[in-house]
Structure 1
Amino acid sequence: MRKRIISIFDYTNKGNREIIMANTFARFEASHTFMANMYIDAYPPNSDPAALEIIGTIGGGNYWTLAADALAKFTDEDQRKSASFTELYSLDPNTETYSKFYGCIQRKFNGMIDGGLRYFLDDVVLYRYADVLLMKAEAQNALNQDPSDAMNRVRARAYGDNFEKHTFVSGSKEDNDSAILEERLLELLYEGKYWWDILRFDKASELIPYFKEHPQHTYKYLWPLSLNILSAEPKVIQNPGYE
């Protein structure tokens, strides 16, 4: 694995050794990826200059941002925090400090600059080595084996000199599953994995507020099949809940 997590997603470092499989994008060969929806297209006046320097050229749709409960899981000792997003604050006139929280702006998949414009053309990573290690930990735990080695290889890079106090110690099967699922959130944030992870762990009704409030709507785990599919394939049956 690469020592600096942010370098995995550097536009100029595509296809590095940690990447196992990715969908490639390039200038003049593709339009923006879906990550354009998460970058910032404007920011409040009196924003923290240090954060703005990291954010750089604005662009994108600014439609989505990181949920508060996900943000709370990251610590400053975890390099995945600064490698994944930048917290933007504006000036609070009452305290004269940059303490008014505005939102989190992604650093993974933030594209490239050409002619003063930001283009979201990072490769969409399907599999990388840290993901494989966490899948190994998941499989080992399912087989009643100790997943500590795979988990700690991921954590050792994430926490660096602070790793010792974040060492994973195997516990019950249920506790290990919870730890592995959270580790996948921290490691693979913005990489399109978490929804499938929580379905696989059967945790959607526990972890997604909507499904906690509407337990009768679990049919929405699946999307409806389109009328085009149903018309073309008469033997295909519509997913439950959409009949």
Structure 2
Amino acid sequence: MKKYIIKPFLFISILVFTLTGCEGLDPEVYDKLTPENFPGSDSDIEAAVTAVYNDMGETWMHVWLDDDHIAINELCTDELISAWGGDWQTKDRFLWTANDGFVKTIYFRYAKGITKATLLIDLLNNTSISNEDLQKRYIAEVRALRAYFGLQLYDLYGPVPMVTDPEIAKDVYTIHTPVRPSSEEVVSFLEEELLAAAEDLPSKYTTNADYGRITKGAALTMLMKLYLMEKNWTKVQDVTETIMGLGYALLDDYNDVFSVDTENNANTEVILALPKIADGYATTWYAVVLPQTPAYQSLTGISLSLWGGLKSPWSFYDTFEEGNDDRLGEAMVRYYYDTDGNWVDFREVSNSKAVGASPKKYQEDPDQLKYYQGNDIVRYRYADVLLARAEALNELNGPISEVVGLVNQIRGRVHTSLIEESGWSKTDMRDYILDERGRELFCEGHRRQDLIRHGKLIEKAHELGRMDAAAHHVLYPLPQSLLDENSNIKQNDGY
């Protein structure tokens, strides 16, 4: 694809390796990190690569601030609803505009990540280190991260310019004003990057120190996501077969997938997780989703701060087989004891926040501090791969026995009823797999794209009374500040 830069200040982030943007810094510092003085040591390289991961994760407060992956990919779907007003209803009710803070924050976070990655790839390519295999791995990691950022931009905003030429990235004194690339250019670039990265990445890491880094499986799962977006079913079939040969497996207990103890390959199902820690880079998921009134009583005796504004609509809850599905109960909460010891059926509660069940999802962190918890955020896992393969095979061959078997692997693990092998049309199986993806992967950031792929995002919104939802909402608007800087970039239709 064409290689452009959007904002010159993005270059700074790779120089200082911080979590925040750096607008307004003196441009005299731009040339101080060079192949002549970097790296000073192998630890410098590792620190530089690790810094690029910062643009991948949510903020320290997870869904509370503007740039959260889960909020923008779930609140507009049938899986999540907000009982809060303000900005939450902007996302919930399809009221966003090009001037909304989250639209800008998310866009420039990923754009900055691409620029940082491009600059670091250039530095690594022009640096000699003693361990050639490690150097190749680091380059592959950063290429995969750059593709991840690009994939998110493509998903959320459509094809947009990306800074993939280091010479343009380093030219901070020139404002480039590119036009938007085509979808074909973006897809080709992302596919090429991920295939190349996967070649030099390990299937897994063996130490805690490398936990959370991109693996071959993670790069290939990103590729799977790209192929799903493009409905390239043959390539989905092929890449899922490769991933299935890498040693991943479903855990016996669904709830254990989301336990605190996921490090050091303890979790064979998780392909990629974003590491968190309660007294540092934490999440606030429990506070956001668990009932405030009547107050939810911790299952493990920890102290919980409860705000309780986000819920899963009862209509979504009803897609599960109540009493016959392990995903209900601890992970999706309707019934619970309150802090006074009373047994509560939240569906019978009458207050403004009792609009659905609580998608607790993650097991309790015994080291939780106030409303901060250290559960690692699961980004990709093996169950997604199995369901993606089932979807692709159904599109290619209809509801063959392998399709049924893959779906039943997912359902059998949670002890819910298995589906029969006969009596399915391709259309019926397509709809069923979409529903099963919702039940299995709720609140993991996949639902928006799943509904878009099936042409049902707006339909589901209308069913929930979100009547402002319209066809153009399958993409978010480009930030108005971007358009103000570059008149060559055309806004997405409908905004």
Same fold by TM-score greater than 0.5: yes
- Secondary structure of 1:85 counterpart: coil
Give 1 or 2: higher strand fraction: 1
Letter in 2 for 1:19: V
Residues 23 and 97 (structure 1 numbering): CA distance in 2 closer, same or farther, change over 3 Å?
Answer: closer
User: Aligned ranges for residues 67-106 of structure 1 at < 5 Å?
Assistant: 67-75=313-321, 76-88=323-335, 98-99=344-345, 101-102=348-349, 103=354, 104-106=357-359
Structure exhibiting the larger radius of gyration computed from Cα positions: 2
Report deviation, 1:21. 1.1
Correspondence for 2:405: 149
| 2:304 aligned residue | 58
CA displacement at 1:55 relative to structure 2: 7.8
3-state secondary structure, aligned to 1:127: strand
More off after superposition, 147-156 vs 171-180: 147-156
> Could you list the per-position Cα deviations for residues 155-190 of structure 1 after superposition, in whole angstroms to 9, with x for gaps in the alignment?
11121xx64xx2243511110111000100111112
Which residue, 200, 213, 219 being the options, matches 2:453? 200
Whether contact under 8 Å (1:230, 1:238) holds in the other structure is: yes
Query: Are 1:83 and 1:108, in contact at CA under 8 Å, matched by a contact in 2?
Result: yes
1:42-191 matches, cutoff 5 A: 42-44=292-294, 52-54=297-299, 57-75=303-321, 76-88=323-335, 98-99=344-345, 101-102=348-349, 103=354, 104-109=357-362, 112-114=365-367, 117-145=370-398, 146=400, 147-159=403-415, 163=417, 166-169=418-421, 171-191=424-444
Q: Which deviates the most, 215-224 or 70-79?
A: 215-224
- What one-letter code is carried by the residue in structure 2 that aligns with 1:22? A
Report if the CA contact (8 A) 1:137-1:150 is conserved.
yes
CA RMSD in angstroms, aligned pairs only: 3.0
Secondary structure of the structure 2 residue equivalent to 1:77: coil
Q: 1: distance between equivalents of 2:309 and 2:405? A: 38
For 2:286 and 2:343, the matched residues in 1 are separated by: 31
Change over 3 Å in CA distance of 1:153–1:114 after alignment to 2: closer
Q: Call closer, same or farther: CA 1:82–1:129 in 2, change over 3 Å.
A: same
Q: Deviations over 1:39-78 (max 9, x none)?
A: 34x222xx7xxx7353853225322111010111122111
Are the aligned partners of 2:478 and 2:491 in contact in 1 as well (CA < 8 Å)? yes
**Does structure 2 conserve the Cα–Cα contact (< 8 Å) formed by 1:85 and 1:108?**
yes
- Decide whether aligned partners of structure 1 residues 53 and 111 sit closer, same or farther in structure 2, where only a CA change above 3 A counts: closer
Q: CA deviation at 1:25?
A: 1.5
Match of 1:26 in 2: 277
Aligned 8 A contact 2:278 2:367 in 1: no
Contact 1:125 1:191 in 2 (8 A): yes
Whole-Å separation in 2 of the counterparts to 1:85 and 1:6: 10
Q: Percent identity over the alignment?
A: 26
Deviations 1:8-52 (A, max 9, x none): 101123451100012222234314356642234x222xx7xxx73
Q: Matched residue of 2:362: which SS? A: coil
Q: Structure 1 residues 229, 120: closer, same or farther in 2, change over 3 A? A: farther
Query: Does structure 2 conserve the Cα–Cα contact (< 8 Å) formed by 1:37 and 1:63?
Result: yes
Distance 1:80 1:89, change over 3 A: closer
Match of 2:262 among 3, 8, 13: 13
Query: TM-score by structure 1 length?
Result: 0.80
Q: What residue is the counterpart of 1:221 in the other structure?
A: 474
Q: Which amino acid aligns with 1:43?
A: T
Higher relative contact order (CA 8 A, sep 6+): 2
Structure-2 change in CA distance of 1:2 and 1:212 (3 Å): same
Change (3 A) 1:69 1:234: same
Comparing 123-132 with 106-115, which one deviates more in the overlay?
Answer: 106-115
- Calculate the TM-score normalised by the size of structure 2: 0.42
| Distance in 2 separating the partners of 1:211 and 1:218 | 16
CA separation in 1, counterparts of 2:259 and 2:252? 13
